[in-house]
Structure 1
Amino acid sequence: MSRRIPRLRRLNGFWLDRRGVSAVEFALIAPILIVMYCGMAELTQAMMAQRRLSNITSSIGDLVAQGTQTGPLKIADIFTIGNTIMAPFPASTLKMCVASVASDATGKDTVVWSKASTTMSTCPAAGAVLTDVPVGVLPASQTVILARASYAYTSPIKLMLPSNMTFSRTYYLKPRKSDAVLWNASS
């Protein structure tokens, strides 16, 4: 019986000992905090990529709208600027499109010219009739520059965002120096 009492005292002393409580609490909470930290980092990176895409779309549209004419060389430079703005994110999944859209006297919106950086299913072809131009953006007998971009964001961590997220933006800008931005194959 005398052997049992010291064992009970040791066991009782083990349960009353508070020296390792902080380490145990940390071991329980640390994984949750790490997951939350990584998740916030992933969401922040995705938001930054989305903002860069918005900046690219407005910038490429604005650069085209500032001129009276454009062509393949100017458009190639504008798309290079778009790729540069996307840094430090990889520009391999960035797709850009610029088009001139004219409305006739009846309000029918037709694409005059259109150029895309890569194959882009949402880039309207020249001669296509658009039905999705918001009312008030393109009054009858006027033109606008349509700038469209999309980006497939892939998280480097893939903890909270395991699959790609595709962001898309569309901007309409009125030409600044003339009624329309003309396509010139030599510029």
Structure 2
Amino acid sequence: MSATEFGLIAPTLILLFMAAIDIPRAYTTGRRLAGAASAMADLISRSDFGTLADVYAAARTVAAPYDVSSAGIVLTAAGVYQTPKGYVARVCSSAAQNDQARIPGSALAPVPAGMETNGARYVMAEVKMRYRAVFTIFPGLNGWRFAYTKIWPVREGVRINGQEEVVLPGGQPCPATLDS
């Protein structure tokens, strides 16, 4: 009788134990990635960088102890322009690690709240990563994909075309007008 009870209860307890490890770990990994995206956006909003190695290292530090070396990171500097139909945001410069950088001049939609001003400049940090569960018995956890986007106004940059802006490595400053 007790062997039957043990045979029914033990697997349930083991599954609960595994879930008690993997679900909080997945949640915390997501929160750390969101924090890493915020940290990178804040860092690149403050200055131009010759290299982004320190920014990527900051993301790894914020996300520690979780390994985010496989995360796709896209950093973008953008400009806002007024058109007859309203405001549009365009990529000025972009850099990426384990992902594809945005194409300069491509549209970003929608214009972030509070940035609907001709000539406004902002930066955006995007982080994407597939979660790998500790216990592969939960296939749903292995399929989770985290994706976070943080938008930050330019805080300190170089004054170009009358606007403070950030130019990411290998990129160009935002054009003064949309048709430049």
The interval holding the TM-score normalised by the smaller chain is 0.7 to 0.9
Residues 4-38 of structure 1: per-residue CA shift (max 9 Å, x gap): xxxxxxxxxxxxxxxx65x6534421211111121
Give the Cα separation in 2 of the matches to 1:177 and 1:159: 48
Query: Matches of residues 62-73 of structure 1 in structure 2 within 5 Å?
Result: 62-67=42-47, 69-71=48-50, 73=51
What is aligned with 1:31? 11
What is aligned with 2:123? 145
Aligned with residue 150 of structure 2, among 150, 166, 171: 171
Q: Which runs of 4+ in 1 moved over 6 A?
A: none
The amino acid across from 2:155 in the alignment is R
Alignment RMSD = 2.1
The amino acid across from 1:100 in the alignment is A
Q: Secondary structure at the match of 1:108?
A: strand
Q: Secondary structure at the match of 1:156?
A: coil
Please state which structure has a larger fraction of its residues in strand: 2
Aligned with residue 59 of structure 2, among 45, 57, 82: 82
Give the Cα separation in 2 of the matches to 1:94 and 1:50: 11
Q: Identity rate of aligned residues, in percent?
A: 23
Answer yes or no: is 1:157 the counterpart of 2:135: yes
Deviation at 1:184, TM superposition (A): 6.1
What is aligned with 2:109? 131
Aligned residue pairs total 159
Deviation at 1:94, TM superposition (A): 0.8
Which of 1 and 2 has greater Rg?
A: 1
Q: Which runs of 5+ in 1 are unaligned?
A: 1-19
Q: Given the superposition, is the C-alpha separation of residues 124 and 138 from structure 1 closer, same or farther in structure 2, using an over 3 Å criterion? A: farther
Q: Which runs of 5+ in 2 are unaligned?
A: 158-163, 171-180
Residues 70-129 of structure 1: per-residue CA shift (max 9 Å, x gap): 33x2x1210122123333323342111111110112212111100011223xx4222211
Aligned with residue 72 of structure 2, among 82, 91, 95: 95
Q: Given the superposition, is the C-alpha separation of residues 150 and 183 from structure 1 closer, same or farther in structure 2, using an over 3 Å criterion? A: closer
What is aligned with 2:173? none
Contact 1:42/1:161 (<8 A) preserved: no
Give the Cα separation in 2 of the matches to 1:27 and 1:62: 54
Deviation at 1:150, TM superposition (A): 0.7
Contact 1:137/1:172 (<8 A) preserved: no
The amino acid across from 1:168 in the alignment is A
Deviation at 1:182, TM superposition (A): 3.1
Contact 1:99/1:124 (<8 A) preserved: yes
Q: Secondary structure at the match of 1:104?
A: strand
Q: TM-score, normalised by structure 2?
A: 0.77
Contact 1:83/1:94 (<8 A) preserved: no
Q: TM-score, normalised by structure 1?
A: 0.75
The amino acid across from 2:46 in the alignment is Q
